[in-house]
Amino acid sequence: MGLFTKDIATFEDLFVHGLQDIYYAENQILKALPNLIEAATNPQLQRGLKDHLTETEGHVSRLEQIFEMRGEKPKGTKCPGINGLISEGDSMLGEVSDTRVLDAAIISAAQAVEHYEITRYGSLIAWAAEIGRNDFADILRENLAEEEAADENLSALASKVVNKRAAGKPASRASPSRATRSPAKKPAKRQPEKRRARKSA
């Protein structure tokens, strides 16, 4: 029942239970993301959620790899925490009528889930290292890095576009990156004046 139960006797038990918790969470997220994608109206938001759906499929595969390395079948444990976050996000979709505001609400719901996952992966990585399984930690770090990147992308989209649109303000213009900026024109070198040859007297 959730992350912490009475059947956890050792530190390794704690790690395994946490692994089962995040495995359950990732599978629930796989089911929930299509609803958010369908409800989103901002093209960038839709694309970002679709990309993360693909990443989440990879997260599940990596977790299954860890189970297999332990000689176990993948197993999840029901987690009220992730269920509550997903349920809250689903109910929000039916409460917001303005699509501009809805996109902002979708980002908020998605980030609540991201933060849950980031916290869980952070703990699992630390626990894996303590029980001498750096190989598990390395796999989990891949998932964590993608969760953190997804969260950062959502924050950027919210602050520059979606939140402003929801508030009826113009979107921020992103300043061009160094790679896309046209190089400043250098002043042309001044050519030395040719001296007029003196006429011989």
Q: In this predicted model, what pLDDT tens digit does every residue of 149-158 receive, in sequence order?
A: 999 999 999 9
CA angle 33/39/45 to nearest 5° reads 70
Count CB neighbours of 176 within 10 A. 9
pLDDT of residue 4: 54
pTM for the structure as a whole: 0.81
Give the separation between CA 122 and CA 126, rounded to whole angstroms: 6
pLDDT of residue 5: 55
pLDDT of residue 189: 44
Looking at the chain, the whole-number percentage of residues with pLDDT higher than 90 is 75
Q: How large is the angle between the packed helices 43-69 and 99-130, nearest 10 degrees?
A: 20
Per-residue pLDDT of 65-94, as tens digits, reads 999 999 999 999 999 999 999 999 888 888
CATH superfamily membership of 11-166: Ferritin, core subunit, four-helix bundle (1.20.1260.10)
Give the start-to-end residue ranges of the domains of the chain. 11-166
Enumerate residues 6+ apart whose C-beta is below 8 A from 56. Answer: 26, 29, 30, 33
Two structure tokens written together for 192? 């030395």
Q: How confident is the model at residue 198 (pLDDT cuts 50, 70, 90)?
A: very low
Cβ atoms of residues 129 and 184 within 8 Å: no
pLDDT of residue 6: 62
pLDDT of residue 195: 42
CA distances from 136 to 91, 112, 154 (A): 36, 25, 28
